[in-house]
Amino acid sequence: MGKEYPFLEDTLGKKLEAGTSLSVYCLICKRTALLDVYELVRRFGPDQPCQHWDLLKIIYCHECRAAGRDDRNLQFTNHAVTPEQGRRNPSP
């Protein structure tokens, strides 16, 4: 025990390489969504920073935005890679 490793990967590209995943929790509507890091890299590029405040700029809660509520009351959680998730095979 001892050291923690919060957000070792500070860009989306590094996260994708490390194979870690990311989920977002909306504090208002209490929904959790697993973010697709692979898709985020495609949309924002591998150099997109992925610290909490960076993600807040690019990610919002669709439900809350649609309902006209504050859509940035979000909490991000890093997940270590699991064997089942593993590496995704890019489709040809």
Residues of this chain that interact with Zn ion (CB under 5 A) are 26, 28-29, 61, 63-64
Nearest approach in angstroms of CB 3 to Zn ion is 33
Q: Look at phi and psi of residue 23 and say left if phi exceeds 0, alpha if psi is from -120 to 50, else beta.
A: beta
Q: Looking at beta carbons only, is 35 or 41 nearer to Zn ion?
A: 35
Comparing C-alpha atoms, which of 42, 20, 35 is closest to residue 9?
Answer: 20
Q: Looking at beta carbons only, is 16 or 22 nearer to Zn ion?
A: 22
Nearest approach in angstroms of CB 24 to Zn ion is 10
Distance of alpha carbon 83 from alpha carbon 72, whole angstroms = 32
Nearest approach in angstroms of CB 54 to Zn ion is 19
Q: Looking at beta carbons only, is 9 or 71 nearer to Zn ion?
A: 71
Distance of alpha carbon 84 from alpha carbon 87, whole angstroms = 9
